[in-house]
Amino acid sequence: MMGEIQENFETISALIPAHCVLVAVSKTKPIPLLQKAYDYGQRVFGENKVQEMVDKHEILPKDIQWHMIGHLQTNKVKYIAPFVSLIHSIDSLKLLKEVQKQAAKNDRVVDCLLQVRIAQEETKFGLTIDDLNTILASEEVRAFNAVNIIGVMGMATNTDDEQQVRDEFNSLSTLFQQFKEQYIDHPIFKPKHVSMGMSGDFQMAIEEGSTMVRIGSSLFGARNYGSL
Ligand SMILES: *Cc1c(COP(=O)(O)O)cnc(C)c1O
């Protein structure tokens, strides 16, 4: 009986417009729950830990698109390079270089998003506007042949102040549009996606221009552990 998972997907899907991709964030959730989501028709799953993603990829159907949404250590890129579909969390040039290297080894082209620091909070990973310019203007990056930068990702501040969250989402959309125009001839910057919005704020994110929402607890239930 699919029951609850199916209902959750129906409820959430009804709130997401067709142009917006739903990434089902399945971190910490057991395989049978992911299988239920798969049976419902979900094909895009987000994980934030390399080992967990590798384990789930090995067991679940091969037509699932796996998105890495969490902070990624350079020395672990090699484990996901053979199959990862999109990395949301590129937060350094060093990491992008490693993805290029490992994707090339696997004869693949891996899509990436640049994670931008939009939150006021100190704790969030992410690039500044200067960092983005450095990466996109780099001759080395322009010559990459095994990665595409298809957009940006951001996480808003964890606060009850709705206006602040909205402003942060809006700033990411605005920045995306600017970079889209500024780097229109860039060989590997092929801007398609603004990844923003989670269970608590995805409707606002969509209103502010999100094209990809990352939703976990509203689909799979609350995670019963401390971190993230
Ligand atoms: C866990 C996580 C999400 C999903 O959070 P929910 O509040 O459960 O929807 C989205 N994005 C990132 C980067 C995450 O780590």
Read off the pLDDT of residues 200-209 as tens digits, 9 standing for 90 and up.
999 999 999 9
- Judge contact between 22 and 12, C-beta under 8 A: yes
Pairwise CA distance, residues 32 & 166, whole Å: 35
pLDDT per residue over 44-70, tens digit each?
999 999 999 999 999 999 999 999 999
Q: Coil, helix or strand for 66? A: strand
- Which residue of 52, 67, 69, 225 sits with most ligand 1 atoms within 8 Å of its CB, as the best mutation to test the pocket? 69
Q: What is the pTM of this model?
A: 0.96
β-pairing verdict for 147-154 and 189-195: parallel
- Measure 79 CA to ligand 1 centroid, in angstroms: 22
- Measure 99 CA to ligand 1 centroid, in angstroms: 22
